[in-house]
Amino acid sequence: MRILGLETSCDETAAAVVEDGRRILSSVVFSQIDLHALYGGVVPEIASRAHVEACDRVIDEALRQAGLTFDDVDALAVTYGPGLVGALLTGVSCMKGLSYALGKPLIPVNHIEGHIAANFLTHPDLAPPFLCLVVSGGHSHLVYLPDYARYELLGQTRDDAAGEAFDKAARVLGLPYPGGPRLDALAESGDPHFLHLPEPRVEGRYDYSFSGMKTAFLNAVNQLEMRGEGGEKLPKADLAASFRHAVVESLVGKAMLAAKEKKVEKLAMAGGVSANRELRRRMAEECEKAGIPLYMPRLELCGDNGAMIASAAYWRYQRGETADLTLNAVPGLRLV
C-alpha cells in the first residue's frame, strides 16, 4: 500500500510516498528556516503563507521522485495537530481537496505519532511493544506503544519542551535560530562540568521540567557578563556543554527509570532533539548497560518530514481509522 503523506505543522513543508509503512519511495522537505531566521523564531503568518505556496510543488516533487502519479497512490495522509493552526490548516485543506478530487481515503495523523514512526522507517524489524522518548521543539514525552498506532503517555514536560529549552539557551549565547543544533555542535568542545544546573523535582515520576534550568542558565550567563568575563571572553563552549549535559542527563535518567520500572524490552527515541549527539551517546551507553536494545531514527528522519507521517498513517489505516471532509486542524491535539 502506497501512502502520500504531507506535513505542515510548523516550519517545514514536507511530502513523501511510503510503501507499507516501512519503505520510503520519496521524501521532499522544504525548510522555511531562512524565512524565519531574520525574526529569531517561527512567525506563524509567514509559515502559513509559505506552506500555501510550497504545498503543491512539494507534493509534485515527491511523486516525481518516486516515479509515480496520483493514480499509483492508495491513500493520503496529513498532520492535523498539534502545531500552528494556520500552518496545519494549509496542509489539512490541501489533502482534503486531493482526497475529494481523487476519491482516495484520507488518514489523519498526530505529529507526535509521526515522529515515533520515523523509527519504523529506519528499523525494518522494529515492532511494538516499546517505549519511546519523544523530544522535539514542542514536546518532551515518554510514550509507551503496546501495539501499532496505540499510545500510552507515561510522562511529559511540565513546562518547556527540551528543544525549546535548547533554542532559548542558544539564544542567550548569541547563537542564531534554530539554536539547538548549533548549541550541540559548540558543546562538543566544552567542559560539561563548568556550570552545575540542578535537575528540578517534579511531581510526576516520569515527568520533566526544563524551565528552571533555563532560568538558572540565563542568570549564570548574566553574572559572568557582569563580572567582566563577558563579551568575547564568555566561555560559550563550556556553557553550552553544561546546559546540554543537564538537559540530556534529565532526559536519559527518566527514560531509563521508566524503562526499568515498566520492564520494557525495547527503547526508541524520536523528534528533532533525538539528533542531539550527547543524547544519542548517553542513551546508547545506558541502554547497553541495562541490556535494552535502543532504536534511533536516521539523522535526516529526526526532524519534521513527510515520510514519518505516511508511515504513521499506514498503521492507523490498518485499524480502519480514516477521516472524512469534516476533518479540521487541532492545534492542541493530544496523543492520548
Among positions 13, 99, 136, 157, the unique one binding Zn ion when judged by CB under 5 A: 136
Calpha distance 237→241 (Å, rounded): 6
Binding partner selected for residue 276 from ligand KG4, Zn ion, none, CB under the kind-specific 5 to 8 Å limit: ligand KG4
Binding partner selected for residue 113 from Zn ion, ligand KG4, none, CB under the kind-specific 5 to 8 Å limit: none
Binding partner selected for residue 106 from Zn ion, ligand KG4, none, CB under the kind-specific 5 to 8 Å limit: none
Binding partner selected for residue 167 from Zn ion, ligand KG4, none, CB under the kind-specific 5 to 8 Å limit: ligand KG4
Cα–Cα nearest to 308, from 106, 21, 82: 21
- Please spell the DSSP secondary structure of 144-163, one letter per residue: EEEETTEEEEEEEBSSS-HH
Nearer to Zn ion, 81 or 192 (CB): 81
Calpha distance 28→19 (Å, rounded): 15
Cα–Cα nearest to 188, from 235, 136, 232, 238: 238
Binding partner selected for residue 273 from Zn ion, ligand KG4, none, CB under the kind-specific 5 to 8 Å limit: ligand KG4
Closest separation between CB of residue 273 and Zn ion, Å? Answer: 10
Nearer to ligand KG4, 286 or 304 (CB): 304
Cα–Cα nearest to 20, from 312, 319, 321, 322: 312
3-state helix, strand, coil in the chain (%, to 5): 50, 20, 30
Pairing of strands 140-147, 150-156: antiparallel
Note whether 276 binds Zn ion by CB under 5 A. Answer: no
Q: Which residues bind ligand KG4 (CB under 6 A)?
A: 10, 136-138, 163-164, 166-167, 178, 180-181, 184, 271-273, 275-276, 303-304
Closest separation between CB of residue 243 and ligand KG4, Å? Answer: 10
Closest separation between CB of residue 104 and ligand KG4, Å? Answer: 27
Closest separation between CB of residue 164 and ligand KG4, Å? Answer: 6
Q: Between residue 296 and residue 315, which ones bind Zn ion under the rule CB under 5 A?
A: 304
Nearer to ligand KG4, 21 or 178 (CB): 178
Angle, CA 179 vertex, CA 178 and CA 183 arms, to 5°: 150
Cα–Cα nearest to 297, from 162, 122, 136: 122
Binding partner selected for residue 7 from Zn ion, ligand KG4, none, CB under the kind-specific 5 to 8 Å limit: none
Closest separation between CB of residue 77 and ligand KG4, Å? Answer: 17
Q: Binding-site residue total for Zn ion (CB under 5 A)?
A: 2
Let me know: does 175 contact 221? Beta carbons within 8 Å.
Answer: no
Nearer to Zn ion, 90 or 99 (CB): 90
Let me know: does 324 contact 134? Beta carbons within 8 Å.
Answer: no
Closest separation between CB of residue 335 and ligand KG4, Å? Answer: 13
Nearer to Zn ion, 55 or 134 (CB): 134
Cα–Cα nearest to 292, from 321, 318, 324, 269: 269
Helix axes 277-290, 179-187, angle to 10 degrees: 70
Note whether 7 binds Zn ion by CB under 5 A. Answer: no
Let me know: does 2 contact 23? Beta carbons within 8 Å.
Answer: no
Nearer to Zn ion, 127 or 336 (CB): 336
Residue located via cell numbers 534511533 = 296
Residues that bind Zn ion (CB under 5 A): 136, 304
